Amino acid sequence: MKHFYHTGLLLIFLIGCAGNVTVPQPLKEPVASTDIEKEKIDKGIYFHDQGKYDEAIKIYKEVLALNPDNVMALHEIAYSYFVFGDLKASLSYALKGLQYNSDLLGQFSFMAGNCLDDLGKPRDAIKFYTNAIKYIPDENMVYYNLGVTYFKLKHTDEAQKNFLKSLELDIHHASSHLALAKIYMQKGEQIPALLLLTRFLILEPNSQRSVETLALLENVMAAGVEKENANTININIFGLTGQNGSQFDKIEMFYKLSRATRYLKKNAGKSEFELRLGEFSSLFEFMKKDDLKESDSFLEKYLISYFSDLNKAGFGECCVYYIHQLIDDENIQQWLRQHWHEVQEFEKWNNAYEFVATKRQ
C-alpha cells in the first residue's frame, strides 16, 4: 500500500515540473472487482453523489489498497478528486487509469484533458481530448471541451469545427450554441450568430448567461441597419459568407430589409419589443426548410429546419416572449402568465425536437 501511494505522489510531483505530459500506453490488463470491492465502490459513489467527496475518496483508496489494478476505482477516485477541486490528484489517477486496456480509456483521457486545461496546459489537454475521441467518438462534451481549449489558444477555425461537431451530436447542448455564436459574431456573420443566440436562449432562458446573451442578441440584431437622418437609412451587408447560394446570405439580405422597416411612419410609436417581435415573426416566416439543398452546410440545415418547424408548429410568438422572460417589462411578464399553457407546450415541443440532416425531415 505504501508503494502505491508513493507512486501517486511521485507522479503528481513530475506533473508539476515536467514541460509536457504524454498519453500513456494501455499495456496493462485490469483486474475485475470482487463482490466486496463492488460494494465499496457503490458506497463511494453514494457518498460522491451526496457531495461527501472526502469520504468517497477514502473508500476508493481502500479498494485500491485491495486491488491496485481496479480501473473502476481509479476512474471514480479521479472523478471525485476532480469535482473536489484537487486537479493534480485527479490527473495522477487518470494517467494511471490510462495504463490499462479497458472500456474507460476514453473517460480517463477526457478527464486528464479537463485537468490539464484547468492546470494551464492547453496543448497537453488537446492531446488527451484527441485521444479520448478515438474511444468515445460520439461524446459531444469531448468535442466541446476541445473547442474551448482551441478557442483559448486563438485557433478559431479548429474551435469552430469542434463546436459544430458537438452540436451535431447534441443539438440540445446550450453551451455549444453560445460558443459558436460568439465565433460567428467575431467573423461578422450576422444570421448564424443571431439564430444561435436565439436557440441558446430557448435552451437556457433564465440564467446569468441568459442576461449576457440577451445583450449580445440585441447588438447582433441591430448590426448593419442604421437611421442616418429622417430620409436616409443605411444598410450594410458585411457578414456575407461569399458562398454561392448560401442560405444565410439570403436570409441576411431579407432580415436587414425587414429591420429597416422599423423606421417607417407606420411603425412610429411601437415599443422596442413590439418592433423586435415583428422582426422575429418575419424572419421565422422567411425561413423554409423545404428550400434547403443537399449542398447546404449542417448549420444551415439544422437552424433553418428548427426555426421553420418552430414557426409551423405555431410557436413563433411564444418563442420571442420566452427568450425575453428575464426582461423587466410588465407586458412581457403578463403575456407569459396569461399564456402559461402555451409556454409549457412550447417547452415540451422543444425538448422533444429531433433533427435529421436531410433535405426533408
Whether residues 130 and 220 share a domain: the answer is no
Residue 136 has pLDDT above 70, yes or no: yes
Q: Quick one: cell of 204?
A: 437556457
Which domain-ending residue is among 118, 137, 156?
137
Residue 308 near residue 289 (C-beta atoms within 8 A): yes
Q: Quick one: cell of 39?
A: 460494494
Kindly state whether residue 192 falls inside one of the protein's structural domains.
no
Residue 271 has pLDDT above 80, yes or no: yes
Whether residues 6 and 102 share a domain: the answer is yes
Nearest of 361, 252, 270 to residue 313 by alpha carbon:
361
Question: In sequence order, what are the residues at sequence separation of 6 or more whose Cβ sits closer than 8 angstroms to the Cβ of residue 153?
Answer: 122, 123
Whether residues 114 and 238 share a domain: the answer is no
pLDDT for residue 15:
41
Helix, strand and coil content of the chain, in percent to the nearest 5, comes to 70, 5, 25
Nearest of 97, 177, 101, 193 to residue 140 by alpha carbon:
177
- Cα 197 to Cα 4, 180, 210, 333, 357: the distances in Å are 49, 9, 9, 21, 21
pLDDT for residue 230:
66
Residue 33 has pLDDT above 90, yes or no: yes
The conformation of residue 232, written as its DSSP 8-state character, comes to E
Kindly state whether residue 264 falls inside one of the protein's structural domains.
yes
pLDDT band at 12 (very low <50, low <70, confident <90, very high): very low
Q: Give percent of the chain with pLDDT exceeding 90.
A: 81
Q: Quick one: cell of 292?
A: 434547403
Average pLDDT in the 34-57 region?
98
Task: Tell me which amino acid residue 191 is.
Answer: I
Which domain-ending residue is among 75, 102, 137?
137
CATH number at residue 116: 1.25.40.10
pLDDT for residue 35:
97
Average pLDDT in the 138-143 region?
98
Residue 332 near residue 281 (C-beta atoms within 8 A): no
Kindly state whether residue 201 falls inside one of the protein's structural domains.
no
Residue 153 has pLDDT above 50, yes or no: yes
pLDDT (tens digit per residue) in 162-186: 999 999 999 999 999 999 999 999 9
Q: How many whole angstroms separate alpha carbon 146 and alpha carbon 84?
A: 22
For CA atoms 138, 141, 147, 153, give the dihedral sign. negative
Number of domains in the chain: 2
Whether residues 10 and 117 share a domain: the answer is yes
Whether residues 348 and 235 share a domain: the answer is yes
Q: How many whole angstroms separate alpha carbon 55 and alpha carbon 69?
A: 21
Average pLDDT in the 236-265 region?
79
Kindly state whether residue 343 falls inside one of the protein's structural domains.
yes
Kindly state whether residue 15 falls inside one of the protein's structural domains.
yes
- Cα 55 to Cα 47, 49, 62, 86, 174: the distances in Å are 6, 11, 11, 14, 33
pLDDT for residue 244:
53
Which helix or strand (DSSP H or E) is residue 245 part of?
none
Which domain-ending residue is among 91, 111, 137?
137
Residue 340 has pLDDT above 50, yes or no: yes
Whether residues 109 and 221 share a domain: the answer is no
Kindly state whether residue 289 falls inside one of the protein's structural domains.
yes
Residue 5 has pLDDT above 60, yes or no: no
DSSP string, 138-194: T-HHHHHHHHHHHHHTT-HHHHHHHHHHHHHH-TT-HHHHHHHHHHHHHHT-HHHHH
Average pLDDT in the 291-308 region?
96
Q: Quick one: cell of 257?
A: 430589409
Whether residues 99 and 220 share a domain: the answer is no
Whether residues 118 and 22 share a domain: the answer is yes
3-state secondary structure of 353: coil
Average pLDDT in the 47-55 region?
97
Kindly state whether residue 176 falls inside one of the protein's structural domains.
no
| CA dihedral angle for residue 14, residue 17, residue 23, residue 24, rounded to 10 degrees | -20
Whether residues 227 and 347 share a domain: the answer is yes
pLDDT (tens digit per residue) in 68-83: 999 999 999 999 999 9
Residue 137 has pLDDT above 90, yes or no: yes
* pLDDT, greater one: 97 or 230: 97
Q: Give percent of the chain with pLDDT exceeding 70.
A: 90
Residue 110 near residue 145 (C-beta atoms within 8 A): yes
Kindly state whether residue 150 falls inside one of the protein's structural domains.
no
- Cα 73 to Cα 26, 60, 69, 77, 100: the distances in Å are 17, 6, 9, 6, 13
Q: How many whole angstroms separate alpha carbon 244 and alpha carbon 59?
A: 61
Range of the domain at 330: 214-352
pLDDT for residue 238:
60
